[in-house]
Chains A and B, each alone.
Chain A
Amino acid sequence: GEDVEQSLFLSVREGDSSVINCTYTDSSSTYLYWYKQEPGAGLQLLTYIFSNMDMKQDQRLTVLLNKKDKHLSLRIADTQTGDSAIYFCAENGSGNTGKLIFGQGTTLQVKP
Protein backbone atom coordinates (compact mmCIF):
# COMPACT_ATOMS: atom_id res chain seq x y z
CA GLY A 1 0.00 0.00 0.00
CA GLU A 2 0.87 3.64 -0.01
CA ASP A 3 2.38 5.09 3.15
CA VAL A 4 4.60 8.06 3.96
CA GLU A 5 6.28 8.41 7.34
CA GLN A 6 8.07 11.28 8.99
CA SER A 7 9.37 12.00 12.47
CA LEU A 8 7.00 14.36 14.23
CA PHE A 9 9.31 16.96 15.74
CA LEU A 10 12.70 18.59 15.19
CA SER A 11 14.29 21.38 17.19
CA VAL A 12 17.35 23.32 16.01
CA ARG A 13 19.16 26.55 16.87
CA GLU A 14 19.03 29.53 14.55
CA GLY A 15 21.90 29.38 12.06
CA ASP A 16 22.23 25.59 12.23
CA SER A 17 21.22 23.23 9.44
CA SER A 18 17.97 21.29 9.73
CA VAL A 19 17.45 17.88 8.19
CA ILE A 20 13.93 16.50 7.92
CA ASN A 21 13.59 12.88 6.90
CA CYS A 22 10.83 10.94 5.18
CA THR A 23 10.31 7.35 4.05
CA TYR A 24 7.75 6.22 1.53
CA THR A 25 6.57 2.87 0.24
CA ASP A 26 5.36 3.33 -3.34
CA SER A 27 8.37 2.75 -5.59
CA SER A 28 6.33 3.77 -8.65
CA SER A 29 6.11 7.40 -7.47
CA THR A 30 7.53 9.68 -10.14
CA TYR A 31 7.65 12.83 -8.04
CA LEU A 32 8.25 13.53 -4.37
CA TYR A 33 7.41 16.83 -2.74
CA TRP A 34 8.10 18.96 0.27
CA TYR A 35 5.39 21.30 1.51
CA LYS A 36 5.54 23.86 4.34
CA GLN A 37 2.60 24.86 6.52
CA GLU A 38 2.81 27.92 8.74
CA PRO A 39 0.30 28.44 11.56
CA GLY A 40 -3.16 29.33 10.28
CA ALA A 41 -2.20 28.83 6.66
CA GLY A 42 -2.52 26.24 3.94
CA LEU A 43 0.31 24.18 2.52
CA GLN A 44 2.95 25.90 0.43
CA LEU A 45 4.93 23.89 -2.09
CA LEU A 46 8.63 24.31 -1.32
CA THR A 47 10.22 22.01 -3.85
CA TYR A 48 9.86 18.68 -5.59
CA ILE A 49 12.21 16.12 -7.07
CA PHE A 50 11.82 13.76 -9.98
CA SER A 51 12.39 10.15 -9.04
CA ASN A 52 15.38 9.68 -11.37
CA MET A 53 17.32 12.42 -9.57
CA ASP A 54 19.47 11.97 -6.47
CA MET A 55 19.67 15.58 -5.41
CA LYS A 56 18.10 18.92 -6.05
CA GLN A 57 19.30 22.23 -4.63
CA ASP A 58 17.31 25.42 -4.47
CA GLN A 59 18.95 28.25 -2.52
CA ARG A 60 18.99 27.15 1.16
CA LEU A 61 17.08 23.94 0.42
CA THR A 62 18.68 20.65 -0.58
CA VAL A 63 16.60 17.58 -1.31
CA LEU A 64 18.25 14.17 -1.28
CA LEU A 65 16.53 11.09 -2.68
CA ASN A 66 17.66 7.52 -2.07
CA LYS A 67 15.30 5.60 -4.30
CA LYS A 68 16.68 2.21 -3.31
CA ASP A 69 15.85 2.83 0.34
CA LYS A 70 12.77 4.96 -0.49
CA HIS A 71 14.18 7.72 1.68
CA LEU A 72 13.77 11.44 1.09
CA SER A 73 15.32 14.26 3.08
CA LEU A 74 15.07 18.03 3.15
CA ARG A 75 18.04 20.01 4.38
CA ILE A 76 17.58 23.66 5.27
CA ALA A 77 20.86 25.55 5.54
CA ASP A 78 21.27 28.48 7.96
CA THR A 79 17.87 27.85 9.53
CA GLN A 80 15.99 31.00 10.52
CA THR A 81 13.15 31.54 13.00
CA GLY A 82 10.89 32.14 10.00
CA ASP A 83 11.49 28.54 8.99
CA SER A 84 9.52 27.36 12.03
CA ALA A 85 6.55 25.47 10.56
CA ILE A 86 5.25 21.99 9.80
CA TYR A 87 6.96 20.30 6.86
CA PHE A 88 5.11 17.64 4.86
CA CYS A 89 6.64 15.06 2.60
CA ALA A 90 4.38 13.71 -0.19
CA GLU A 91 4.55 11.26 -3.06
CA ASN A 92 2.37 11.05 -6.13
CA GLY A 93 2.04 7.28 -6.15
CA SER A 94 1.12 5.40 -9.30
CA GLY A 95 -1.43 6.27 -11.91
CA ASN A 96 -2.44 9.52 -13.51
CA THR A 97 -4.79 10.57 -10.70
CA GLY A 98 -3.11 13.64 -9.28
CA LYS A 99 -3.51 12.03 -5.88
CA LEU A 100 -0.76 12.91 -3.43
CA ILE A 101 -0.01 10.81 -0.35
CA PHE A 102 1.18 12.97 2.53
CA GLY A 103 3.13 12.15 5.65
CA GLN A 104 1.97 13.34 9.06
CA GLY A 105 4.27 16.32 8.98
CA THR A 106 7.38 17.27 10.95
CA THR A 107 7.13 20.28 13.24
CA LEU A 108 10.34 22.28 13.00
CA GLN A 109 11.07 24.51 15.97
CA VAL A 110 13.87 27.04 15.51
CA LYS A 111 15.27 28.49 18.73
CA PRO A 112 16.94 31.90 18.65
Chain B
Amino acid sequence: ETGVTQTPRHLVMGMTNKKSLKCEQHLGHNAMYWYKQSAKKPLELMFVYNFKEQTENNSVPSRFSPECPNSSHLFLHLHTLQPEDSALYLCASSQDLLSGHLTYEQYFGPGTRLTVT
Protein backbone atom coordinates (compact mmCIF):
# COMPACT_ATOMS: atom_id res chain seq x y z
CA GLU B 1 0.00 0.00 0.00
CA THR B 2 1.76 3.15 -1.22
CA GLY B 3 -0.82 5.74 -0.18
CA VAL B 4 -1.96 6.26 -3.77
CA THR B 5 -5.28 4.74 -4.81
CA GLN B 6 -6.80 4.47 -8.26
CA THR B 7 -10.33 3.66 -9.38
CA PRO B 8 -11.56 1.75 -11.20
CA ARG B 9 -8.93 -0.99 -11.34
CA HIS B 10 -10.33 -2.32 -14.61
CA LEU B 11 -12.33 -0.53 -17.29
CA VAL B 12 -13.71 -1.68 -20.63
CA MET B 13 -15.12 1.02 -22.85
CA GLY B 14 -16.25 1.43 -26.41
CA MET B 15 -14.75 4.02 -28.70
CA THR B 16 -17.76 6.33 -28.36
CA ASN B 17 -17.96 6.20 -24.56
CA LYS B 18 -16.88 8.84 -22.08
CA LYS B 19 -15.32 7.68 -18.83
CA SER B 20 -13.03 9.03 -16.12
CA LEU B 21 -10.15 7.58 -14.16
CA LYS B 22 -9.64 8.75 -10.60
CA CYS B 23 -6.49 8.96 -8.50
CA GLU B 24 -6.22 9.98 -4.86
CA GLN B 25 -3.10 10.30 -2.72
CA HIS B 26 -2.95 10.39 1.07
CA LEU B 27 0.71 11.35 1.37
CA GLY B 28 0.47 15.12 1.59
CA HIS B 29 2.20 15.50 -1.76
CA ASN B 30 1.71 18.41 -4.14
CA ALA B 31 2.85 16.93 -7.45
CA MET B 32 0.84 14.31 -9.33
CA TYR B 33 1.47 12.43 -12.55
CA TRP B 34 -0.32 10.31 -15.16
CA TYR B 35 1.65 7.60 -16.97
CA LYS B 36 0.68 5.16 -19.70
CA GLN B 37 2.16 1.66 -19.61
CA SER B 38 1.75 -0.37 -22.80
CA ALA B 39 3.07 -3.84 -23.43
CA LYS B 40 6.68 -3.90 -24.57
CA LYS B 41 7.11 -0.11 -24.37
CA PRO B 42 8.75 2.07 -21.75
CA LEU B 43 6.54 3.86 -19.28
CA GLU B 44 5.31 7.06 -20.94
CA LEU B 45 4.75 10.21 -18.91
CA MET B 46 1.52 11.91 -19.96
CA PHE B 47 0.87 14.82 -17.60
CA VAL B 48 2.41 16.48 -14.55
CA TYR B 49 0.62 18.70 -12.07
CA ASN B 50 2.33 20.75 -9.37
CA PHE B 51 0.14 22.55 -6.82
CA LYS B 52 -2.87 21.91 -9.10
CA GLU B 53 -1.21 23.57 -12.09
CA GLN B 54 -0.33 21.54 -15.16
CA THR B 55 3.42 21.75 -15.77
CA GLU B 56 3.87 19.08 -18.40
CA ASN B 57 1.80 17.76 -21.27
CA ASN B 58 3.86 15.20 -23.14
CA SER B 59 2.15 15.69 -26.52
CA VAL B 60 -0.88 13.73 -25.38
CA PRO B 61 -3.89 13.59 -27.76
CA SER B 62 -6.83 15.76 -26.74
CA ARG B 63 -9.06 12.70 -26.25
CA PHE B 64 -7.26 12.49 -22.88
CA SER B 65 -8.21 15.39 -20.63
CA PRO B 66 -6.68 15.66 -17.14
CA GLU B 67 -8.15 17.52 -14.21
CA CYS B 68 -6.55 18.31 -10.86
CA PRO B 69 -9.09 19.99 -8.53
CA ASN B 70 -6.75 19.85 -5.53
CA SER B 71 -3.36 18.44 -4.61
CA SER B 72 -4.86 15.15 -3.43
CA HIS B 73 -6.97 14.27 -6.46
CA LEU B 74 -6.23 13.75 -10.11
CA PHE B 75 -8.62 12.69 -12.86
CA LEU B 76 -8.15 11.56 -16.42
CA HIS B 77 -11.24 12.11 -18.57
CA LEU B 78 -11.48 9.85 -21.59
CA HIS B 79 -13.58 10.28 -24.74
CA THR B 80 -13.59 8.80 -28.25
CA LEU B 81 -10.61 6.61 -27.49
CA GLN B 82 -8.93 4.27 -29.96
CA PRO B 83 -8.06 0.59 -29.47
CA GLU B 84 -4.36 1.52 -29.30
CA ASP B 85 -5.16 3.49 -26.13
CA SER B 86 -5.68 0.19 -24.31
CA ALA B 87 -3.02 0.10 -21.60
CA LEU B 88 -2.37 0.31 -17.88
CA TYR B 89 -2.74 3.90 -16.70
CA LEU B 90 -0.68 4.68 -13.65
CA CYS B 91 -0.98 7.63 -11.33
CA ALA B 92 1.91 8.76 -9.15
CA SER B 93 2.62 11.52 -6.66
CA SER B 94 5.68 13.18 -5.19
CA GLN B 95 6.61 16.15 -3.08
CA ASP B 96 6.32 19.41 -4.97
CA LEU B 97 8.68 20.44 -7.73
CA LEU B 98 9.61 23.84 -6.36
CA SER B 99 11.13 23.47 -2.91
CA GLY B 100 14.27 21.62 -3.91
CA HIS B 101 13.12 18.07 -3.30
CA LEU B 102 15.44 16.87 -5.97
CA THR B 103 15.06 13.20 -5.18
CA TYR B 104 11.62 13.32 -6.84
CA GLU B 105 10.70 10.00 -5.32
CA GLN B 106 7.45 9.08 -6.97
CA TYR B 107 4.89 6.84 -5.35
CA PHE B 108 2.65 4.91 -7.70
CA GLY B 109 -0.90 3.68 -7.49
CA PRO B 110 -1.86 0.17 -8.67
CA GLY B 111 -3.10 1.42 -12.03
CA THR B 112 -6.29 1.17 -14.06
CA ARG B 113 -6.26 -1.51 -16.76
CA LEU B 114 -8.12 0.08 -19.67
CA THR B 115 -9.43 -1.89 -22.64
CA VAL B 116 -10.94 0.00 -25.58
CA THR B 117 -13.16 -2.12 -27.80
Contact = CB atoms under 8 A, between A and B. Distances in A.
B105 interface: yes
Contacts, number: 64
How extensive is the interface on chain B, given as a class? Answer: 20 to 34
Contacts of B40: 104
Contacts of A99: 45, 48, 56
Interface string A60-89: 000000000000000000000000000010
B70 interface: no
Contact of A43 (B90, B94, B98, B104): B90
B42 A4 contact: yes
A84 to B, nearest CB: 18
A105 B92 CA distance: 18
Given A43-B90, A103-B42, A97 B48 contact: yes
A61 to B, nearest CB: 15
Contact of B104 (A31, A103, A105): A31
Given A31-B103, A48-B103, A104-B42, A98 B108 contact: no
A105 B109 CA distance: 18
Interface in B50-68: 50, 55-56
Interface in A14-65: 30-31, 33, 35, 40-45, 48
B43 interface: yes
A14 B97 CA distance: 40
Contacts of B117: none
Interface of A: 4, 30-31, 33, 35, 40-45, 48, 88, 92, 96-105
Q: Please provide the 3 A-B residue pairs with the shortest distance between their CB atoms, ordered closest to farther.
A: A42-B108, A102-B43, A43-B108
